[in-house]
Each structure stands twice: as structure tokens, then as C-alpha cells.
Amino acid sequence: MDWGLRNRLSRVLRPEDGRTVMLAADHGYFLGPTHRLEDPRETLRPLIPFADALMVTRGVVRSCVDATAQVPLVLRVSGGSTVAGPDLADEVVTTAMEDAVRLNASAVALSVFVGSAYERQTLGNLARLVDRGLEVGIPVLGVTAVGKELEKRDARYLALACRVTAELGAHFVKTYFCDGFEAVVAGCPVPVVIAGGPKSDNERDALQVAYRAMQEGASGVDMGRNVWQSTHPVAMIRALRAIVHEQASAQEACDLFDELRQPGQRQVV
């Protein structure tokens, strides 16, 4: 890896422990103004100080994130299909690498839809994006997306998708936690972070997933809805940080969440 690329990657995966708590807030690119992300500026403001990196589109960066914010950007650069269209997997690259450079992105992120009708198209998107990233020293996060087919989240499928994504040159991979997750990580030669998926019934469940993922080899989390759709988003991201960076158990993280969500603690920054 070239120096610039390694340096950018180290802004996302913290050099002290190689781990990260990314905050995913790119959902508007296919979901529109989804619940609690109607106004990204308001949602993100109290959370940014606790995020190791922020995953958003260029539209949200420019309109909703202060340019002086000291948070590395993982810029979502794929899209083109929405929940209203025929197939979420039909994605193209939506942002030029030059714009990622202009925005001082620490990494760019693109979804691949392995096993879908758009497998070849989205894997081709990834390969070309890696080539462009290498030219300018920007690492690529490959996101193994499943669209609406949530049943695809089993270890056999995710191990295939993660490995293929790494083989095509992604510098780190984002996927889902699943039973047998250890094998997914073991078969992937680059760091793996997990998405949270739809908001869990309670924060304890999401913290438990994060804890299990870290125990089974994840390099961090890139969660969105389970943070900003929580009634106490700041407490939630701080509890996640305890798991990822401070070796907290799931129970310790739950206790921290309970403590931080007490009146007066809610917006502690």
C-alpha cells in the first residue's frame, strides 16, 4: 500500500487498535428521508464527536456537515436505484474520484450485490473504483449488500460475498453479522466491519450483536439505524465505542447505555 492510502485508512481504522466505530448515515441515497434522518444535520451533530468516521453521500457532506468537523469521511459513491424502483441492486458509481479528493475523503464506499442480476455490473463497478482509488491513494470500502433479500445473510453467502469483494481489491469490507460469522472473517483477507441492519427492538440486542461480532473477529461497526433511531443516540454510540475500543462486555455496554440515558445525560458530548 502506498503511504497516502495507508494514512487515509488509518484515519478510519484507528492505529491504536485497528478498530473503528463508523457512523452510517448514507441511507437517504436509496430510502429518501427515512425516520430520524429527515434532517441529517440535526441527527448527526451530537453524534459526530463520537464517530471514528462518518459514512455519507457527497450531498449530505456538503449540505449537512460542517467543513471544520474533525471526522474522517467514508464517502458513499454508489447508488442510482431506490426503494421505488425495480431493483435496488442496479447501482452505478455516482461520484467521481476527483470529487472524493475534493471532499478530503478518507475512503470511498460502494455496494456489490453478489448473486443478484446485477452481480457482474456491481463487481465491475468495484474493480474500476479500486483502480481509481489506487491512482489517488484513497482506499475502498466494499459493502456486501443484499437489497430486500434479507434471507441472504447467512455465513455461506456472506463469506462468498466478502471474499470476492476483497479479491477485487477492496481495502476493507462491510457486511452483516450472522451465525458462523467467524468463518466469514477467517475467509476475508482484509478487515471486516458490520452494519447494524434495521433498528432492533431494543438497544441491548444491537449491543449484543456488536459484542459478538467483535469477539468473532470484526474490526468494528458501521451502524446507522440502531444508533440514530435509538431514543438515546449519543448513549448508544458511546456504548458501542466501549465494546469496540475498550473491550467492554455486552452487559457492561448495556449498563453504560442505561447510565448515559438518565435525565441530564442524554446529550452529553
Which listed range, 126-134, 219-227, 235-243, 261-269, lies at the site for ligand R5P (CB under 6 A)?
219-227
* 264 HSE (CA, 13 A, CB side): 1
Residue type, 111: S
54 binds ligand R5P (CB under 6 A): no
Nearer to ligand R5P, 68 or 170 (CB): 170
Q: How far is residue 93's CA from residue 129's CA, in Å, rounded to a whole number?
A: 8
CA distances from 50 to 15, 36, 110, 234 (A): 16, 18, 24, 8
Tell me the C-alpha distance between 82 and 167, whole Å.
28
Nearer to ligand R5P, 7 or 92 (CB): 92
- Catalytic residue check, 174: yes
Q: Which stretch binds ligand R5P (CB under 6 A): 56-64, 216-224, 234-242, 249-257?
A: 216-224
Among positions 6-45, residues that touch ligand R5P (CB under 6 A) are 24, 26-27
Contact pattern from residue 176 through residue 215 relative to ligand R5P, giving x for each residue in contact according to CB under 6 A and a dash for the rest: -------------------xxx------------------
Among all residues, which ones are annotated catalytic?
A: 174
The residues of the shown chain that bind ligand R5P, judged by CB under 6 A, are 24, 26-27, 55, 111, 143, 145, 195-197, 222-226
